[in-house]
Amino acid sequence: MLIAGAWHGAWCWEKVAPLLEARGHRVLTPELPATGADPADPAGVTLETWARFVAGVVTAEAEPVILAGHSRGGIVISRTAELVPWNVRRLVYISGYLLQAGSTVAEAARRDTESLVPPNMLPAASGVTCRLREDVIREALFGDCTAADYECALSRMTAEPLKPLVTPLRISAPRFGSVPRAYIECSRDRTITLAAQREMQAALPCDPVVTLESDHSPFLSRPQDLARLLGGL
């Protein structure tokens, strides 16, 4: 089960999902409420909304799932594992926010002083959502992508609900901590830098840890390699 990150929707897995299916995996790419093509009102969305939504999809499966989260999707899979640890076989963070209990994405992002994202986020007048300044999107998110993939992604990006980004993560060692964790690093990431990825892993070790020579969006820039790594877990 693949969970997209901020400003993205299930569309971002369109290259990777068929490659995993060709390897014999069943692949789910649920659309989180108020992201991608989902029409829900972002004003009503919380981190708990997302985690309970994913937990519902997970528990409907006959067997425990491998739950992979990209970027902000990391907090969603962590909280989901806290809710239904017995239904999750492994957590996989794809350059994802692997946060300790009580931490928030906003805090972690601000500590990553080399990241291009925090200083270029533009909150909506409503204060409910935010976008990323367009002149940094290419370098921050899609640096290794083809021009065609970048333009397609840019046309499909949507506003990101802000509330989940400032919500402290509620996890515990007996529940979340009982689920094995893996991490796929993106070495050329300008959104969550490699140093930040490794700082999070130092606090919450993962096994295995593998490194992709990739920007923040390996599902577009390195889909074959990402599918190979995911399929091997």
pLDDT digits (tens, 9 = 90+) for 27-70: 999 999 999 999 999 999 999 999 999 999 999 999 999 999 99
For residue 152, pLDDT over 90 is answered with: yes
Residue type, 99: L
Locate 172 and state its tokens. Answer: 């515990």
Angle between helices 147-156 and 134-141 (to 10 degrees): 120
In this structure, are residues 92 and 71 in contact, taking their beta carbons and an 8 Å threshold? Answer: no
The pLDDT of residue 169 is 98
Share of the chain above pLDDT 70, in %: 100
pTM: 0.97
Backbone angles phi, psi at 149, to 5 degrees: -65, -40
**Domains of the chain, CATH where assigned:** 2-231 (3.40.50.1820)
pLDDT, position 113: 96
What rounded mean pLDDT belongs to the chain?
Answer: 97
Average pLDDT, stretch 157-173?
97
Reduced to 3 states (helix: H, G, I; strand: E, B; else coil), residue 220 is helix
CB 161 within 8 A of CB 128: yes
How confident is the model at residue 151, as a pLDDT?
A: 97
Confidence tier at 233 by pLDDT (50, 70, 90): confident
- CA dihedral over 26, 56, 64, 219, signed as positive or negative: positive
pLDDT at position 64, please? 97
